[in-house]
Amino acid sequence: MKHLLLRGAALTMGAILLTSAYYRIDSPSIMTQAARHFLASLTPEQQAKTTFPFQSEERLNWHFIPRERKGLPLLDMTPPQRAMAHALLAAGLSQRGYIKAVTIMSLEDVLRILEKADPNYRNPEKYYFSIFGEPSDTGTWG
């Protein structure tokens, strides 16, 4: 249990340190550029899994409990792609919001142990990224 608490504390501190690298400036172009860079880092197959039309029904298909989703999970990304995904996440959130998001992700390890869950059910890398529409400073996308 002590190891688990130390790991949780280390992950939280890591999240706090990461936010300094991704500090958000309020500008739609920052998020647009982050999305474009993220998409450019993906293979064509990964892009196909990640992108959807803005009006897609998949945009409304979400829930906070673990389940299979469409999109590209962190698990299937290379380390540079994960960095781009985190940069996109940070661009869309306040610094506090980003810290909260990555902390919640890291708690999947704690929940897996407490629930005695299958590692495929509770996994901090099973957070999916999807982009709806074409990233643009003026258009509608998400």
In a domain, 41, yes or no: yes
Query: How open is the CA angle 123-142-34, to the nearest 5 degrees?
Result: 80
Note down the domain range covering 23: 2-58+69-132
In a domain, 64, yes or no: no
> pLDDT by residue (tens digit) across 121-142?
888 999 999 999 999 999 899 9
In a domain, 95, yes or no: yes
Question: Is 131:59 a contact under the CB 8 Å cutoff?
Answer: no
Paired residues of 128 in beta bridges: 73
> pLDDT by residue (tens digit) across 2-51?
554 445 544 454 555 455 555 545 567 899 999 999 999 999 999 999 99
What one-character-per-residue DSSP string does 52-115 give?
E-TT-GGGG---SS----SSEEGGGS-HHHHHHHHHHHHHHS-HHHHHHHHHHHHHHHHHHHHH
In a domain, 28, yes or no: yes
The number of distinct structural domains making up the chain is 1
In a domain, 105, yes or no: yes
